[in-house]
Each structure stands twice: as C-alpha cells, then as structure tokens.
C-alpha cells in the first residue's frame, strides 16, 4: 500500500524493514542497476522485466517456501470449479508467492522470508457476535466441515498491479451457514492474528493493529466471496495469508485480509485497517473501477505481475455480472474507494 506522507502513524520503509533486509534489498537493487526504481510499489515487476524473467510458470516448476508439515496437506489439490474462468494466463507461482503485501512482517514486497515466522498450528478461528451460538474451532476442524474447491480468480491491488491465481478454499457462504447469524447482523468483521513476537511490525504502534476488514452479509454470501486456504494446489504459504484468507476478486486487494482468526457478525459497519489509517483514500467498499482514480494515481490500467504487461482495468475487476446488483441501492456511498 502506498501512503501519502509519513504522519505520526506512518513510517518510512527503512523504519518498517529490519535493517539487514533493507540493506540487502538495496544492494540487490543497486547491483541490478535499478536504483532509480522504487523498491516498493511496482519495483518487482520492473525487476522481472529487466531480467527477462517474464514467462508465466505452472505450479510444478516453482518451489516457494510454504508451511512445514502442514496437517492439511493431503487435502490438496482440491477439485477445480470450472465455473470461474480467467481472461488471461495464470500468474507464475514464484511471482505470486514472492511479491506480497503483509504489513505485519514489514511494508516492503519481498516479505516472503520474514513471513515464515508465522506459526499456523495451532490456529484457532472464532465466530462470534450476533450469531445463534458463538463458535471457536481449530483450523483443521473448520477444514473438515467445509468443501474445498479450487477457483481461478483475478486479484487487483489498489496499487495498480494484478495477478491471476488458483486459490483453494471454500465459499464464504459456508462459514456464514455455520455461524447462523441473527437477523440483526448486517456485517462480518474479520480480524488477523495479533502476535508481535511472531510478526515484529506489530510492535509499530502507529499502525492500528490487528488488521481488520469487513463485508456486508450480502457480500459475504455472494457466490464469489471465497475463504482461501491454499494456492497453486497446495496449502497457503505464510506470505499469502496462511492458513485462512479472504478472496473477493471484485474489490481492491487490501480487502483480502490474511491469516484470519476471528469473524464477528455485527450490526455496525466495521472500520478497516486502511480506512483508519487513511480514510480519504481507502474506504469500506473498495470496489474496482477504472474510472474512479485513487486520489494520487489512475486506476485505468494495471500492471500484470510477472509479465509487466499493462492492461485495462475492468469495472468490478470484470466480475460485474456476479456483484453489480449488490450496489444498485447504495446511492451516495463511496463505492469505488
Ligand atoms: N492482510 C493482512 N493481514 N495484512 C496485510 O498487510 N495486505 C493486503 C491484503 N491482505 C494485507 C492483508 C493487500 S494491500 C493486498 S494487495 C493483498 O493482501 C496481497 O495479497 P498477496 O500478497 O497474496 O498478493
């Protein structure tokens, strides 16, 4: 995420990144003659282009770091749901798993190594708030109660880069059915783990930890809303949000909260992490719209991760037929930021 200018709660990358990592990355960038390209933002795309390393790769060719001895490993790969087709090639696994946003581990994109500190077992998920019976269960118990499938989805970051990946997971509607929300519940508020001993950036008190996101119940039960537990036919690597993250492909990527520990059903619209930090730039709805620029850059096009190609961005990231009706009566709302 790009932040306008450091305020009390903001930081420079140097401050966010462990010194050794910061220096190593600077050396790498300098060595490649890319000193003029920002290390964050679209730096990785430029790097891939310059190195000629742009061809998409399939899962078998790549060996990204992932959870060790994950007890759910035998559940993968799950059968693919062919209903969700892509209009572009899949992003190479090594790009999708090495160019990440995971602020709990630092504010740069090369976060996959630090993210290996994430311990994903035991992992407890709490479902509470306005529900018939609050529930706390281990991730493996949850996995046993849902049906896993693979879906190919696009992902459009608000920073104007995109990828297309095979998530494994289950429909959010299945979790809502488990939760049995009361009729007063209008929203689902989701929360990421909070453990500064594992995620050092959570010691930075100017961020409003833990990471929080929210959806309306209608959005959460829309068929596209997906809780992802794996990617590329394997359990989710730490850096992509193990063991449970959201995929809502019609919204900007910051809505796709990672490493969720709590789903709270509520009658109050949740205020998300980025909304608290900079509400004029990152709102609750955050639906993709090429015609509504971010206050500081255009959203008309996006750079495809791994190929560096720039392609037009589509309204609702191309998923309008599934979701446009959700917003028909929301006049006066800032639906696209
Ligand atoms: N979830 C948490 N907990 N922390 C984060 O920093 N970053 C968000 C989102 N979910 C983030 C998060 C942003 S800005 C994006 S674009 C996506 O995760 C990136 O997902 P990816 O790394 O799997 O591509």
**pLDDT tens-digit series, residues 237-280:** 999 999 999 999 999 999 999 999 999 999 999 999 999 999 99
274 Cα nearest atom in ligand 1: 14
Query: What radius of gyration do the chain's Cα atoms show?
Result: 19
- Residue 289 confidence class, pLDDT cut points 50, 70, 90: very high
Give the distance (Å) from ligand 1 centre to CA of residue 187. 21
163 Cα nearest atom in ligand 1: 24
Q: pTM for the whole thing?
A: 0.84
**Comparing 32-46, 133-147, 193-207, 294-308, which segment has the lowest mean pLDDT?**
32-46
CB 211 within 8 A of CB 257: yes
CB 247 within 8 A of CB 191: no
Give the distance (Å) from ligand 1 centre to CA of residue 100. 7
Q: Is the CB of 257 under 6 A from ligand 1?
A: yes
Does residue 37 carry a pLDDT above 60?
A: no
Q: Which residue has the tokens 């993709």?
A: 288
* pLDDT on residue 70: 86
- Residue 128 confidence class, pLDDT cut points 50, 70, 90: very high
Q: Which fold has domain 21-326?
A: Sulfite Oxidase; Chain A, domain 2 (3.90.420)
Give the distance (Å) from ligand 1 centre to CA of residue 132. 31
Which is nearest to 29 in space by CA: 50, 3, 55? 50
Q: Is the CB of 240 under 6 A from ligand 1?
A: yes
- Residue 134 confidence class, pLDDT cut points 50, 70, 90: very high
CB 14 within 8 A of CB 26: no
The span from the first CA to the last CA of the chain, in angstroms, equals 13
Give the distance (Å) from ligand 1 centre to CA of residue 259. 10
* pLDDT on residue 69: 73
Does residue 68 carry a pLDDT above 50?
A: yes
- pLDDT, tens digit (0-9, with 9 covering 90-100), for 71-109: 999 999 999 999 999 999 999 999 999 999 999 999 999
* pLDDT on residue 3: 60
> How does strand 187-192 pair with strand 260-266?
antiparallel
158 Cα nearest atom in ligand 1: 16
Query: Which two tokens mark 182?
Result: 């009361």
User: What's the distance, CA 67 to chain centroid?
Assistant: 18
Q: Is the CB of 101 under 6 A from ligand 1?
A: yes
Q: Is the CB of 22 under 6 A from ligand 1?
A: no
Output the average pLDDT for the chain. 84
1 Cα nearest atom in ligand 1: 14
Q: Is the CB of 237 under 6 A from ligand 1?
A: no
CB 176 within 8 A of CB 188: yes
Q: Is the CB of 100 under 6 A from ligand 1?
A: yes
Asked if omega into 15 is within 30° of 0 (cis), the reply is no
* pLDDT on residue 133: 92
User: Rounded mean pLDDT of 269-294?
Assistant: 97
DSSP 131: B
């Amino acid at each position: 995420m790009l932040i306008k200018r450091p305020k009390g709660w903001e930081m420079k990358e140097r401050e966010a990144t462990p010194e050794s990592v910061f220096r190593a990355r600077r050396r790498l960038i300098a060595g490649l003659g890319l000193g003029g390209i920002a290390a964050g933002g679209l730096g990785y795309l430029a790097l891939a282009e310059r190195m000629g390393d742009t061809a998409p790769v399939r899962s078998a060719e790549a060996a990204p770091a992932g959870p060790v001895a994950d007890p759910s490993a035998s559940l993968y790969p799950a059968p693919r749901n062919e209903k969700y087709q892509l209009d572009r090639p899949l992003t190479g696994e090594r790009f999708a798993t090495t160019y990440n946003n995971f602020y709990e581990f630092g504010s740069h994109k090369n976060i996959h190594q630090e993210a290996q500190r994430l311990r994903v077992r035991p992992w407890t998920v709490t479902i509470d708030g306005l529900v018939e019976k609050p529930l706390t269960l281990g991730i493996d118990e949850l996995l046993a109660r849902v049906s896993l499938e693979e879906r190919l989805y696009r992902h459009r970051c608000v920073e104007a880069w995109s990828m297309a990946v095979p998530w494994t997971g289950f429909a959010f509607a299945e979790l809502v059915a488990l939760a049995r929300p009361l009729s007063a519940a209008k929203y689902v508020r989701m929360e990421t783990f909070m453990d500064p001993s594992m995620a050092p950036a959570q010691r930075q008190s100017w961020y409003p930890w833990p990471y929080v996101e929210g959806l309306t119940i209608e959005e959460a039960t829309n068929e596209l809303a997906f809780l992802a537990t794996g990617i590329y036919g394997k359990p989710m690597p730490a850096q992509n949000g193990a063991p449970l993250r959201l995929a809502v492909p019609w919204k900007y990527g910051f809505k796709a909260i990672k490493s969720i520990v709590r789903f709270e059903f509520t009658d109050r619209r949740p205020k998300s992490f980025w909304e608290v930090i900079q509400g004029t730039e990152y709102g609750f709805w955050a639906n993709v719209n090429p015609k509504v620029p971010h206050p500081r850059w255009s959203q008309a096009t996006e750079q495809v991760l791994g190929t560096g190609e720039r392609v037009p961005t589509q309204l609702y990231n191309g998923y309008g037929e599934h979701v446009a009706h959700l917003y028909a009566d929301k006049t006066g709302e800032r639906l696209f930021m």
